[in-house]
Amino acid sequence: MRYALLLVALLSGPAQADRQSFPPVDQATQDPSLVAFRDALLANVAARDTDAVVAAACPDIYLSHGGDGGPEELRANLTLDPETLSEEYRENADTLRDAYWTDLENTLSQPGYFDDEGEFWMPHQWQITLPASLDPFMAYFVTGSNVALRQSADRDAPTLGLISHEIAIIRDYQEDAEYQRVLLTDGTQGYIHSDYLWSMVGYRVAFVKSDAGDWQLCTFVSGD
């Protein structure tokens, strides 16, 4: 079951909605076989074991909104041959490869939930349904408990409040900035440390149980 975010016309006006908190609950413990699969996959990802990770994937694993998917595309993403990149990006192949592994590991480490089809999705906030009026690329989830909302982009700035597990709007995300200017769903504004903000179009993972009863990695994708 997905949770709807109650929010209307937030980006152009004063407070218009109550704030909602979505505390993480990891439903994986409902199925010990799922826990075992996730633990093993995480260990293989931490070890950067390409063969083991690819072996855990569905035959039609979904990896992008434009690619063909499948285990061989996953292998290509995990190994990232510089020659497959345009010339301007080839020197960054190692960094891009490491980032892909890290994103996979971070996503697999998140609490998750079962959808109505019995698939298991991570992170848990992916079950929040954003209103159609909100650009999903501006929506971020505050991943921590009692995260400081500061008056300015400075760790020593006065704290305006403590934020836990809710949606924040960022109109202009600044790459590499320590703090981001956010708008909460009741119109409150301030700055939150970037480490506690997860894009609502960021990476998510889905596990699906095969006809044989084995869990498989069937989605690892980002974007709307």
pLDDT at 82 over 90: no
Q: Is residue 7 part of a domain?
A: no
The pLDDT score that the predictor gives to residue 113 is 97
Q: Is residue 98 part of a domain?
A: yes
Read off the pLDDT band of 45 (50, 70, 90). Answer: very high
* Interatomic CA distance for residues 198 and 217, integer angstroms: 21
Directed axis angle between helix 32-46 and helix 93-108, to 10°?
160
pLDDT at 166 over 50: yes
The number of folded domains in the chain is: 2
Q: Is residue 140 part of a domain?
A: yes
The pLDDT score that the predictor gives to residue 201 is 96
Q: Is residue 45 part of a domain?
A: yes
pLDDT at 183 over 50: yes
- Is 181 within 8 Å of 153 (Cβ atoms)? yes
Asked if residue 160 and residue 148 are part of one domain, the reply reads: yes
Asked if residue 116 and residue 45 are part of one domain, the reply reads: yes
CATH number at residue 91: 3.10.450
86-102: pLDDT as tens digits: 888 888 888 999 999 99
Q: pTM for this structure?
A: 0.88
Q: How far is CA 52 from CA 33, 34, 41, 74, in A?
A: 17, 17, 8, 12
Asked if residue 108 and residue 215 are part of one domain, the reply reads: yes
Asked if residue 115 and residue 163 are part of one domain, the reply reads: no
Asked if residue 79 and residue 180 are part of one domain, the reply reads: no
Asked if residue 164 and residue 140 are part of one domain, the reply reads: yes
Please give the residue range of the domain that contains residue 171.
Answer: 129-199
Q: Is residue 37 part of a domain?
A: yes
118-145: pLDDT as tens digits: 999 999 999 999 988 899 999 999 999 9
